[in-house]
């Protein structure tokens, strides 16, 4: 018991040593927590003090959690649970240093060090490996997100969930995996907090003053059709989607035929809650066309291709909207290159996840994702909610038929 307490206490003390704060006081007489990003971490040290002080800051902040774990294991001979508690105590020491009124950093570097330590155990000591396709998807995602956003936080919140999924898929469920997932969850939370705090996803609403952004954020709810397909037969699923489609179509038809209804939902409500886009005046809404695209996909294609096509539509469009509006710089037809790349990436990532459960080759997912992204970008006079699933699904179907001959 004494050894356990000492190991945890030493972990906290090691963690509470903040090179960023100490070097700031020594070199410039400043409190690093009150300048720049107000965070006593490597990035802020580099910005305020220079590269040379940032190097020892990065090294120590990254290693102190690992050192705490090794001290607990090798010197105090604690069980694995206690040794990791010592490592996490180092994180707490970094966040709540006793001599600085318990106001330190975020602990991201220290947790990243423990994360790397865990990954070394998983991949080197336990000899667990990702498939080559896993690595390809990860590399494409990393380079694409960095090219689009140029932001570390955006990279972390998109790559870490995918990385977690692959770890759960490939690694045994043990203490190493559990602590790894806990660390990743915390890093995700920190990433989201920093994105909100520093307004890293800036969507200029002035460009789309009457755009119902809530519809973009609930778009992933359409994935419920994919989930339901695993529990319902084709006829039942088509009937369900058909009923919902019919209700939306009746609503749109009432708007089109009766101008006061149309004006009420598009003009009168826009100062309270925007439901429809301005361009949906006197025409079928994209919500109805989304349902039509889903219905036709299940009707025309075999189930696994329909599921893939709808996944491309949902997550490709979601990624394209968010990243295109926030980071779109280079015009590509009537879209942006960044938004089109994001469409491809969203389709590829979620297509790959779905493809694992449906036994779909990555080559088909890749071709379908590219098709969907190109179709979404090209200036067709056809709604993307219809063209993306039908043409990407048709491409995958065609390749499958050619390959079977």
pLDDT in tens, 107-118: 999 999 999 999
pLDDT in tens, 379-388: 888 899 999 9
Higher pLDDT residue, 197 or 26? 26
Verify that 32 and 69 share a domain, yes or no.
Answer: yes
| pLDDT value at residue 262 | 87
d(CA 375, CA 386): 10
Average pLDDT over residues 69-88: 95
Question: Where are the strands (E) in 157-274, listed by range?
Answer: none
Average pLDDT over residues 174-186: 94
Q: What pTM was estimated for this model as a whole?
A: 0.90
335 membership: H or E segment, kind and range: strand 335-336
Domain limits for position 151: 129-201
Burial grade of 1 (CB within 10 A; 0-12, 13-18, 19 or more): exposed
Verify that 220 and 108 share a domain, yes or no.
Answer: no
Highest mean pLDDT among 33-42, 69-78, 120-129: 69-78
Q: Please report whether residue 206 resides in a domain.
A: no
Verify that 193 and 342 share a domain, yes or no.
Answer: no
Tokens of residue 280, six digits = 């949906």
| pLDDT value at residue 204 | 63
Verify that 306 and 175 share a domain, yes or no.
Answer: no
User: Which residue reads 């949906």 in tokens?
Assistant: 280
Verify that 182 and 256 share a domain, yes or no.
Answer: no
Verify that 3 and 51 share a domain, yes or no.
Answer: yes
Verify that 114 and 138 share a domain, yes or no.
Answer: no
Sign for the CA dihedral angle at 170, 174, 180, 186 comes to positive
d(CA 363, CA 366): 5
pLDDT in tens, 296-324: 999 999 999 999 999 999 999 999 999 99
Verify that 191 and 332 share a domain, yes or no.
Answer: no
């Amino acid at each position: 018991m004494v050894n356990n307490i000492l190991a945890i206490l030493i972990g906290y003390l090691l963690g509470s040593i903040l090179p960023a704060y100490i070097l700031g006081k020594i070199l410039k007489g400043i409190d690093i927590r009150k300048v720049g990003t107000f965070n006593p971490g490597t990035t802020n040290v580099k910005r305020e003090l220079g590269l040379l002080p940032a190097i020892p800051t990065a090294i120590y902040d990254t290693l102190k959690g690992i050192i705490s774990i090794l001290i607990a294991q090798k010197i105090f001979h604690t069980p694995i649970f206690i040794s990791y508690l010592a490592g996490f105590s180092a994180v707490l020491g970094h966040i709540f240093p006793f001599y600085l009124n318990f106001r330190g950093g975020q602990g991201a570097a220290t947790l990243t060090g423990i994360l790397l330590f865990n990954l070394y155990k998983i991949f080197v000591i336990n000899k667990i490996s990702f498939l080559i396709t896993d690595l390809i998807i990860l590399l494409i995602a990393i380079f694409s997100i960095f090219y689009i956003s140029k932001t570390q936080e955006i990279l972390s919140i998109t790559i870490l969930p995918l990385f977690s999924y692959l770890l759960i898929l490939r690694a045994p469920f043990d203490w190493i995996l559990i602590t790894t997932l806990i660390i990743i969850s915390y890093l995700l939370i920190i990433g989201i907090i920093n994105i909100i705090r520093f307004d890293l996803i800036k969507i200029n609403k002035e460009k789309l003053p009457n755009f119902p952004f809530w519809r973009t954020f609930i778009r992933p709810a359409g994935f419920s059709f994919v989930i339901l397909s695993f529990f319902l037969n084709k006829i039942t699923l088509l009937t369900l989607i058909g009923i919902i489609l019919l209700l939306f179509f009746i609503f749109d038809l009432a708007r089109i035929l009766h101008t006061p209804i149309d004006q009420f939902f598009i003009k009168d409500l826009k100062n309270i809650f925007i439901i429809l886009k301005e361009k949906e005046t006197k025409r079928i809404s994209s919500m109805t066309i989304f349902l039509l695209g889903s219905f036709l996909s299940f009707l025309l294609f075999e189930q696994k291709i329909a599921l893939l096509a709808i996944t491309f539509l949902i997550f490709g469009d979601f990624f394209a909207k968010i990243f295109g509006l926030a980071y779109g710089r280079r015009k590509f037809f009537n879209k942006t290159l960044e938004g089109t790349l994001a469409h491809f990436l969203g389709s590829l990532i979620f297509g790959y996840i779905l493809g694992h459960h449906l036994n779909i080759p990555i080559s088909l997912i890749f071709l379908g994702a590219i098709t969907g992204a190109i179709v979404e970008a090209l200036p067709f006079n056809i709604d993307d909610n219809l063209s993306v699933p039908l043409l990407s699904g048709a491409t995958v179907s065609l390749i499958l038929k050619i390959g079977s001959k």
